[in-house]
Amino acid sequence: MTDSENRDDCLTHRQYMELALIEAEKAFLADEVPVGAVLVDGQGNILSANYNQPIFLHDPTAHAEILVLRNAGQKIQNYRFLNTTLYVTVEPCLMCMGAIIHARVSHVVFGANDPKWGAAGSLYELQADVRLNHHPKITRGVCEAQCRKLMKDFFNQKRK
């Protein structure tokens, strides 16, 4: 891969992460933990975009990643997402990484690490577990400062 291709790939990651950040801002405004996610197919088409809604939906599984996978499954009428990339503002938790692996998402790109719940490198490395039959590629730190700031602002506001 050339330097030009790497720059283009980074730019694409940044553009999709900015869309995930827009979703996370919707969560912030709804007083939900501000996590947003976007699922993109191999041709760059957005299959689904959503944000955390466990409080609004009264559903502890209503994380942005889970909602995106559910919506995309309905859209494509399949539960497998081969050749897809999931963009998420915060490192997926154990539940979400389990769903990502079951769904066969090819690549996960996230912004901020989650040292308390992260299952893609911070607390656990579920994608690297050799006992599992699918291992999505992980890219960390895309738009990290923006993603981290949104979380920090949300929890600072909660503490007031």
Q: Give the residue numbers annotated as catalytic, written as ranges.
A: 65
Nearest in space to 134 (alpha carbons), one of 111, 116, 113, 108? 108
Q: Which residue has the tokens 């901020």?
A: 112
φ and ψ of 60, to 5 deg: -65, -15
DSSP 8-class letter at 61: T
The token pair at 76 is 């494509």
Q: Which residue has the tokens 């889970």?
A: 66
CA distance 24 to 51: 6
CA distance 142 to 16: 10
